Structure 1
Amino acid sequence: MVNEATVAEPGVLEQRAWKAAATVTDPEIPVLTIEDLGVLRDIRVDEASGAVTADITPTYTGCPAMNMIAVAVDVALRNAGFTDVKINTVLSPAWTTDWLTTEGRAKLKEYGIAPPSGQTGRHALFGQDEVDCPHCGSADTERLAEFGSTACKALWRCRSCGEPFDYFKCH
């Protein structure tokens, strides 16, 4: 039970819970919050009891970071004063890079990871033809490997500046 379970304005507890959960960062890409990624899908609070339920969606089925994310969301909500916490992993609809926020895309680029280009669609099944280098901005790049430091990224290299970089794959 949260101390202010009898708040006069509906939605205040949801806002507080969302704000707390949204601070959780991705353990594989620590510059991104789960809100930036679109992994945090929903927060519901029972206004009478203060029980909170958070829905999270993995970037891909089997993502090893999801257990850590679920624990971190639970801790963040408990630190915000919620004691009755439930975390749901929701697989449908499947996560898509379209759910990345504009801020998240900018953070990826600043961190040296090329954000996904465009929106998902059939082209995502066959790879991205052109990826701009997050270091120098050149489009003269090449894919070195379909998988980079994690399964959701591919390894690329810039022919202009010579730097290797991860590309956050569209899906």
Structure 2
Amino acid sequence: MTTATEQAWQLLEQVPDPEIPVVSIRELGILREVNESAGGELEVVITPTYNGCPAMDQIEHDVRALLQSHNLRARVVTRLAPAWTTDWITPEARTKLREFGIAPPGQSAASVVQFARRRAPAMGESVPCPHCGSHNTTETSHFGSTACKALYKCLDCLEPFDHFKPY
């Protein structure tokens, strides 16, 4: 028999990120925990990709509405610590981001003391183009379609693309 917690995890796999709908909130690492109280209420813990992320209200609404539609009582808690890191993005999400045209961040951003400051790729690092795979790219704006992404351009295929900032 499936527990309410297991059912919630399965259902929440379906909740897309409102800004990047090809990935789920679990795949991005926004969905952190699902806990069940003795009274049977679920607590769903989410962490924003950055403090002040405008999508969090929509994510909270989507989580609550989905669980409620399956008769699961839940409260949604936003937890800021530990701070979200791009290391929490699953390998599947990195593939989906690339296929969607967003260059995923490199691994281990947080483990190199990066989570105290956001950074662009260091000198010598390249961001591969998600369209053609070329490393001949350049940052055109430190802020892309959302504050957690930078805008890049491929100098070979000339296509612009977002790059998920590593932090």
Length-normalised TM-score, structure 1: 0.88
Q: Hey, what's the Cα distance between the residues in 2 that align with 1:92 and 1:126? A: 20
Contact 1:145 1:154 in 2 (8 A): yes
Gaps of 5+ in 1: 1-8
Residue by residue over 1:81-139, the C-alpha shift from the partner in whole angstroms, topping out at 9 and shown as x without a partner, is: 21x31000000000000000000000000000000023203567441131000000000
CA distance in 2, matches of 1:74, 1:24: 10
| 1:81 and 2:74 are equivalent in the alignment | no
Q: Using the TM superposition, name which of 141-150 and 19-28 deviates more.
A: 19-28
Say if 2:105 and 2:164, in contact at 8 Å, map to a contact too.
yes
Distance in 2 (alpha carbons) for counterparts of 1:39 and 1:51: 20
Asked if the contact 2:105–2:166 (Cα under 8 Å) also holds between the matched residues in 1, the reply is: yes
Q: Which has the larger radius of gyration?
A: 1
Structure 2 match to 1:119: 108
State the superposition RMSD in angstroms. Answer: 1.5
Contact 2:86 2:107 in 1 (8 A): no
- Matched with 2:137 is 141
TM-score (norm 2): 0.91
**Any stretches of 5+ residues in structure 2 without a counterpart?**
none
| SS of structure 2 residue aligned to 1:77 | helix
What residue is the counterpart of 1:91 in the other structure?
80
Match of 2:28 among 29, 37, 46: 37
